[in-house]
Amino acid sequence: MNAASVIADARAFWAATRKEWRILRRYPGNLLSFIFWPIALPLAYVFQAQAFSGGRDDTMAAFMERTGTNEVAGFLFVGWATYMWLSIVLWGPGTALRTEQIRGSLEAIFLTPASRLVVLFGPAISQLVWAVWIFVVVGVALWIGFGVSIGPVEALRALTVIVVGVPALYAIGALFGAVVLRFGEVHALVQGVRGLFTAVCGMSFPIIVLPDWAQVVALSLPPTYLIADLRAVLLTGSGVGRILGDLAILAGMGAVLAVAAVVAFRRTELHARRGGRLAQY
Amino acid sequence: MPAIAIEAAGLTKDFEKGRRTVWQRLRRERDRRERFRAVDGVDLHVEAGEIFGILGPNGAGKTTTMRMLATLLEPTSGQATVLGHDLVTEARAIRRRLGAVLSGERSLYWKLTARENLEYFAALYHVPPAETKGRIAEILEIVHLTDRADDYVEKYSTGMRQRLVLARALLPAPSLLLLDEPTVGLDPQAARDLRERVVQLREEGRTVLLTTHYMEEADQLCDRIAIVDHGRIVALDTPAGLKRDLNATEVVRLELHGPERSDAALVARLESAGQVAQRTRENGTLHLTVHCQSARELVPLVIDAARAEDAELANIQVQPVSLEDVFISLTGRALRE
């Protein structure tokens, strides 16, 4: 592959992102759902936490001891915002392929010389816009509803964490893409993995409350680090330097998962080309 | 462009019938699925600049052959070069210079305009940005969609969508175009329009490989035709050459009412003046298709034979030989059976 080809693929990648964004824009109703859910879902957990704690000082102290912050709403809102973003990313590449398959356009794309990564990640990148939107909605809701303000420095630190976490999450998404090419359907698997992440990665609780074995599982999953580090920089005032160890692990996981995803995707594409599964859905 | 656009030898594709469950895979049970051969040792030699047709009934292996040549399917065995590149090891190089219409109107983005669809695919085909706008305008003009270029595709008719699919295939300025049943589902006017475009493409020096099960389309468009049946090429020649090989100039189709026991004798009498290519009996009527050099000589014989065998001539049609007749003589079946 020469430089010209890489540049041409980069343009194709941008075109895929822009195409998907154009289609998304033509269904404006989606925007409303992305205002409602980032507020409604964590809010329910905030009320639940208030009910369980009774608002007593000793329960708040216990929460502070375990989480490093006394911002219960902030803790839950950041956790669930990350979960929603995670869901988009996990669905992203697999769904992009599946959607192209159902639309009947996957073969038309595979007839072009563009890299397969274009179709896998181009449309998924457009969904990052929704991720940004979710975090903006959450930030505004925290500020207005709970007086938790997130300044530009904290936001920048959070962005750093997100950028480091993106390869690992998108690699997991690409593995789902490989599953789509192999089996044609990925819904059940994504639900299962999302369930696992919800159960052990600490969306609505610190993982320290988990049994030891579950903590080991949690620490082997990229979202655990992502959520913990986002909370650290947004709610406890941690600088990036204090979470460098976590970020290194996250980056390492991203590298390993990316290699696994590329190998899996190539193998399943070859399988699809042998069995004629590209057009089947 | 190489003088030979496509060279294939022994191209074969096997598929598995049925499915193997995850449970069977986990238990490492023996794969009991049956294999069937969709394409069986096809040899092709398509010259640059010709319109080459693959004619055959549904399920004959036309589309599978096309999908292999388009690099979407890997052959089970055999070898092929497309535009001088190996089909398996140089697939990406082939895709850079290949245009294909394989899956029809469903493969477009209906919530985008025609221009937006083409912009997207121009990027996927690595069309240089400086050329993209001009090339899209030129192609829209070729397919007569300029005035509707900024409408959503969902508002297009089937014929317009098919023209847009052809426009997309023209984006890489391909030296070879693969068109799989390009006129299926189109109204007669749209189909005629598309056929005219195909002829223009040849005049521009492009090679076109098309599949069809419309014999008139193949006859009208193709410089050479391969007739396929059950995954094999059963004849390959120019349309005129294929008809010439039939050793007949006219086809006489007969319907006769009479006792079934006299069918064989009737056929035997007609064989003296022609070749009975097809014989079926339905609801007491004997249907015969007879290939002959002169219907003028055959018809009196038919009347005499019917009278002699106690049959009544209910209908008679005389037509010039068509590719359908060639197919019947080669396979014993009609194209649409």
Percentage of residues of chain A with pLDDT beyond 70: 97
pLDDT at A281 over 60: no
Spatial separation of the C-alpha atoms in residues A168 and A248, rounded to whole Å: 12
Shared-domain flag, residues B251 and B182: no
Instruction: Please provide the DSSP assignment of A168-229 as one string.
Output: HHHHHHHHHHHHHHHHS--HHHHHHHHHHHHHHS-SSS-GGGS-HHHHHHHHTSHHHHHHHH
Q: In this complex, is the C-beta atom of A117 within 8 Å of any C-beta atom belonging to chain B? A: no
Strand B77-82 vs strand B250-257: parallel, antiparallel, or unpaired?
Answer: unpaired
**Chain B contact for A179, CB < 8 A?**
no
User: What is the DSSP annotation of B119-173?
Assistant: HHHHHHTT--HHHHHHHHHHHHHHTT-GGGTTSBGGGS-HHHHHHHHHHHHHTT-
Q: B290 pairs with which residues across the strands?
A: B252, B276
Domain co-membership, B237 together with B307: no
Place of tokens 């509803």: A145
For residue range A238-265, what is the model confidence (pLDDT) as tens digits? 888 899 999 999 999 999 998 998 888 8
Our measurement of the distance from residue A252's CA atom to the centroid of its chain's CA atoms, rounded to an integer in Å, reads: 17
SS3 B47: strand
Where residue A280 falls among pLDDT bands split at 50, 70, 90? low
- Residues in chain B within 8 Å Cβ distance of A114: 123-126
Using only the alpha carbons of chain B, give its radius of gyration.
Answer: 24
Residue B2, pLDDT score: 66
Q: Is residue B104 part of a domain?
A: yes
Statement to judge: residues B233 and B195 lie in one domain: yes
A199: CB partners within 8 A, 6+ apart: A214
For residue B278, give the H/E element and its range: strand B275-282
pLDDT at residue B102, as a whole number: 87
The first and second tokens of residue A204, run together, are 């609505």
Number of separate domains in chain B: 2
Alpha carbons A37 and A245: distance in angstroms, whole number: 33
Distance CA B289, CA B325 (A): 9
Answer whether residue B336 is part of any domain: no
Domain identity same for B238 and B253: no
**Is residue B330 one of the residues assigned to a domain?**
no
- Is pLDDT larger for residue A94 or for residue A19? A19
Buried b (16+ CB within 10 A) or exposed e, A168-204: bbbbbbbbbbbbbbbeeebeebbeebbeebbebbbbb
Helix (H, G, I), strand (E, B) or coil at B310: coil
Q: Among A22-36, A141-155, A219-233, whose mean pLDDT is lowest?
A: A22-36
Q: Does residue B70 contact residue B100 with C-beta atoms inside 8 Å? A: yes
> Chain-wide mean pLDDT for chain A?
86
CB contact under 8 A, A14 and B111: no
Domain range list for chain A: 3-275
Q: What is the DSSP string of B200-251?
A: HHHHTT-EEEEEES-HHHHHHH-SEEEEEETTEEEEEE-HHHHHHHTT-SEE
Structure tokens of B212? 């069809």
- Report the candidate in A78, A93, A110, A107 with the shortest Cα–Cα distance to residue A12: A110
Domain end call among B218, B243, B268: B243
| B325 inside domain | no
Q: Do residue B17 and residue B106 come from a single domain?
A: yes
CATH number where B27 lies: 3.40.50.300
- pTM of the predicted protein model: 0.80
Task: Return the number of CB contacts < 8 Å for A and B.
Answer: 95
Q: Do residue B74 and residue A273 have CB atoms under 8 angstroms apart?
A: yes
Which of B18 and A62 is assigned the larger pLDDT? A62
Q: Pull the structure tokens for residue A267.
A: 């193998």
Q: Contact, A80 vs A45, CB < 8 A?
A: yes
Question: CA-to-CA distance for A160 and A38, rounded, in angstroms?
Answer: 21
Q: Are B229 and B331 in contact (CB under 8 A)?
A: yes
Q: So what's the pLDDT on residue A233?
A: 92
Which of the listed ranges A24-33, A139-148, B168-177, B290-299 does the model predict with the highest average pLDDT?
Answer: B168-177
Range of the domain at B221: 4-243
B133 with B261, same domain: the answer is no
Q: Is B70 on the interface with A (CB under 8 A)?
A: yes
Residue type, A83: Y
Letter string b/e over residues B183-196, b meaning 16 or more CB atoms within 10 A of that residue's CB: beebeeebbebbbe
A23 — contact with chain B (CB < 8 Å)? yes
DSSP 8-state assignment for residue B297: H
Task: Determine contact, residues B258/B232, Cβ cutoff 8 Å.
Answer: no
Of A55-59, A224-228, A274-278, B138-142, the poorest mean pLDDT is in: A274-278
Position A198 pLDDT exceeds 80? yes
Higher pLDDT: B321 or A103? It is B321
Residue B115 covered by a domain: yes
* DSSP H or E segment with residue B70: none
Instruction: Say whether residue A7 is in contact with chain B using an 8 A CB cutoff.
Output: no
Query: Tens digits of per-residue pLDDT, B299-320?
Result: 999 999 999 888 899 999 998 9
How far B159 CA lies from chain A's nearest CA (Å)?
17
Q: Identify the pLDDT of residue A84.
A: 86
- Chain A residue with the nearest C-alpha to that of B74: A274
* Separation of alpha carbons B206 and A269, rounded Å: 30
Residue B127 lies in a domain: yes
Residues of chain B with pLDDT under 50: none
Has residue A266 got a pLDDT over 90? no
What's the CA gap between B35 and B16, in Å, rounded? 4
SS3 at position A152: helix
Residue B332 belongs to some domain of the structure: no
pLDDT score of B103: 66
Inter-chain touch A15–B120, beta carbons under 8 Å: yes
- Helix, coil or strand: residue B182: coil
DSSP state of B113: B
Predicted local distance difference test score (pLDDT) of residue B104: 62
- The CATH number that applies at residue B290 is 3.30.70.1710
Q: Do A108 and B71 touch (CB under 8 A)?
A: no
- Asked whether residue B172 is assigned to any structural domain, the reply reads yes
Same domain, B68 and B108: yes
Taking contacts as CB-CB distances below 8 angstroms, the residues of chain A near B100 are 111
The 8 Å CB, 24+ separation contacts for B186-195 are: B186/B158, B186/B159, B186/B162, B187/B158, B187/B159, B189/B159, B190/B157, B190/B158, B190/B159, B190/B162, B190/B163, B191/B217, B193/B144, B193/B159, B193/B163, B194/B159, B194/B162, B194/B163, B194/B166, B195/B220, B195/B221
Match 């915002």 to its residue by tokens.
Answer: A81
Element (H, E) at B86: strand B85-86
Would you call B123 and A276 a contact, using CB atoms and an 8 Å cutoff?
no
Q: Could you tell me if B239 and B251 lie in one domain?
A: no
